[in-house]
Structure 1
Amino acid sequence: MKPINLNKARKAKARAEKSARADANAVKFGPSKAEKNSVTSLTQKRSRDLDGHKLDK
């Protein structure tokens, strides 16, 4: 049987709990402001690019 460092085990458990809590909050509160801005800017760029490729008749 191999001895374990209890401090490492305690900290690993705390990290796992913190990560689980963060994942739950991400689902609960939705995407961050930066992610929302990124999606919005990408959508606007695609729209501009599409409009730029239209042919005038």
Structure 2
Amino acid sequence: MSVTAPSTNGRPQRKQLADQFDRLDTIIDALPQAVAGACRTAPGRSSAMPSSRS
């Protein structure tokens, strides 16, 4: 994590591109586990969801 930089002219300093890439990398690294968890829980929830078919 990076330390928040002081504001300039009353506005917070913009995030550095490297910080944004680090955040994106963390999200991408977590995706396989999140998708696997969603796939495990989805079959049990499908019967509880209302049908959109008429």
TM-score, normalising length: structure 1: 0.42
Q: Which has the higher contact order (CA 8 A, sep 6+)?
A: 2
Larger radius of gyration: 1
TM-score, normalising length: structure 2: 0.44
